Amino acid sequence: MEVGPDPAEVGRARRWARSRLAGSGIGDDEPLAETLVLLISELVTNAVVHTGCPAVLRMLFGPGAAQAGTVRVEVADNCARPPRPRLAAGDDTGGRGLELVDGLADRWGWKHEGAGKSIWCEVDRCAEPHPPLPSPAAPTAPVIPSPSGLTPGAYTV
């Protein structure tokens, strides 16, 4: 998707991303979709605000992305200046975009592309949620027969 150097383009990029995700089998209400839309919003905002150049947004789906693959987001612009993560103070209204990308994406980086650069991030999708980890070995309580004859664990106290 081509993105113009206008902040209004960020909303259009989010709508485009949602339609692409739905077309790939990733539901709009899934946490993965929300994460990807937020990442796209941050990367497109950075391109629009910090370069003033048009950009190109790409979303690439690895094999089986709708089940367990990787989704890659790339935003390429014509500005060769590398991205610079900033440290935002508590009251700052900006400066957290790349920190957010770093926290949400499984991987991210940038590379020179033509006369400019491409900033990318990847999010892996697990086929099934991981089962909860067993808790550390806890002492087991002895089973005491219930005076009412109910099976222990079949009722709450």
Say yes or no to pLDDT of 13 above 80: yes
**What is the spatial distance between Cα 121 and Cα 72, in angstroms, rounded to a whole number?**
6
At the fourth CATH level, which superfamily is domain 2-87+94-124? Histidine kinase-like ATPase, C-terminal domain (3.30.565.10)
> Of 8, 7, 66, which is closest to residue 36 (Cα–Cα)?
66
Q: What is the pLDDT of residues 104-141, one digit of tens each?
A: 999 999 999 999 999 999 999 874 444 444 555 544 44
Would you say 96 and 42 are in contact if contact means Cβ atoms under 8 Å apart?
Answer: no
Q: What is the pLDDT of residues 20-58, one digit of tens each?
A: 999 988 888 889 999 999 999 999 999 998 888 899 999
Distance of CA 24 to the CA centre of its chain: 16
Mean pLDDT, the chain, whole residue set: 80
pLDDT of 64 reads 60
CA 14 vs CA 47, 61, 69, 94: distances in Å: 14, 17, 21, 19
Domain ranges of the chain: 2-87+94-124
pLDDT of 148 reads 42
Q: Which two tokens stand for residue 117?
A: 């650069």
